[in-house]
Amino acid sequence: MFNFSKELDLEAQRRRAAFYFLAPMIIALFCVAAWPLLRTIYFSFTDTSLTNLYGGEWIGFDNYLQRRELSSGRVIWRGTLVDPAWWNAVWNTVRFSVISVFFETVFGLGIALVLNAEFRGRGWVRAAILIPWAIPTIVSAKMWAWMLNDQFGIINDILVRIGILERGIAWTASIDTAMTAVLIVDIWKTTPFMALLCLAGLQMIPRDIYEAAKIDGVHPLKVFWKITLPLVRPALMVAVIFRMLDALRIFDLIYVLTPNSKATKTMSVISRENLIDFDKFAYGSAQSTLLFAIIAIFVSLYIWLGKVNLSGEGNQ
């Protein structure tokens, strides 16, 4: 149809158009993502403060780790890498992420299995589980803060009525239960997302596999472990990494539900506190740089070890 040179022309024209089509998006992303990230990393090596954004001077790694020798010969280490508050936040973040994503995966898969069965009213159930997802995080934090209220909260009332608790407890204020409260709200809010992704994975499994297993009389549990789980695994791996990344950067729920609780302060919360509230702009930048590094390492390891195909390009 085309002669060879004309086809080449056309390809070249398309490539040139593609470049112009992509340029605005790439410039936009550079301005709002790459440049600010580079600036944050740069700030972390300076002594910039909120009131003096442009007067910061290069101080090397001092915000991370600084060795000082006193005149008495005693050596003190300073910086975020020896800051117990930072390591407490790291530990809180990791604990929160692992526990919440674990429960969300288990419950999400369970709900997906229920929704994958055929029963009357299935559409309604699917609509109902979308509601927690649709509610803004701040609103759900406030709703649950009210339900978990120590004196007038309905959760305490239910638990006292059925005899699990003797007296209501201050869920969000008490240092022992603050993390549990945050976990409950987060799991409630994000399990629907997990369930929907799992359901999409489940629906891609051909039905005849199950029929064959049924004819052969394979036990349902064995079907789950040997057929369902391996086949849904790729979708599950992607869902888990999305949730994990979300959990590692959690900020709003904790900021609203358990403000200033040492038991729940995460890396994002403590970084923002230093950046904006405490006027330790450079120190906060160092902490957000560390958070970025931790997440980048985690993602690379996960994709490498789990052989997750994120782009979906390979099997096209």
Helix (H) / strand (E) containing 101: helix 84-116
Nearer to another protein, 146 or 224 (CB): 146
**Residue 190 to residue 182: CA distance in whole angstroms:** 12
Nearer to another protein, 43 or 178 (CB): 43
Nearer to another protein, 47 or 157 (CB): 157
| Span near another protein by CB under 8 A; candidates 59-67, 68-76, 123-131, 205-213 | 123-131
Interface with another protein, residue 262, by CB under 8 A: no
Binding mask 10-49 for another protein (x = CB under 8 A): x--xxx-xxx-xx-xx--xx-xxx-xxxxxx--x------
Binding mask 149-168 for another protein (x = CB under 8 A): x-xx-x--x-----------
Residues of this chain, 84-103, that bind another protein according to CB under 8 A: none
Nearer to another protein, 22 or 68 (CB): 22
C-beta neighbour count of 38 within 10 angstroms:
11
> Residue 316: is it exposed, middle or buried by C-beta count within 10 angstroms (0-12/13-18/19+)?
exposed
Binding mask 207-236 for another protein (x = CB under 8 A): ---------------------------xx-
Interface with another protein, residue 267, by CB under 8 A: yes
**Residue 293 to residue 41: CA distance in whole angstroms:** 10
Helix (H) / strand (E) containing 68: strand 66-69
279 conformational bin, left if phi > 0, alpha if psi -120 to 50, beta if neither? left
Find, among 109, 106, 65, the residue nearest to 87 by Cα. Answer: 65
Nearer to another protein, 67 or 142 (CB): 142
Those residues with Cβ within 8 angstroms of residue 76's Cβ, 6 or more apart along the chain or in another chain:
67, 68, 69, 70
Nearer to another protein, 27 or 76 (CB): 27
CB of 128 to another protein, least distance (A): 5
The identity of residue 288, as a single letter, is S
Interface with another protein, residue 288, by CB under 8 A: yes
**Residue 65 to residue 86: CA distance in whole angstroms:** 13
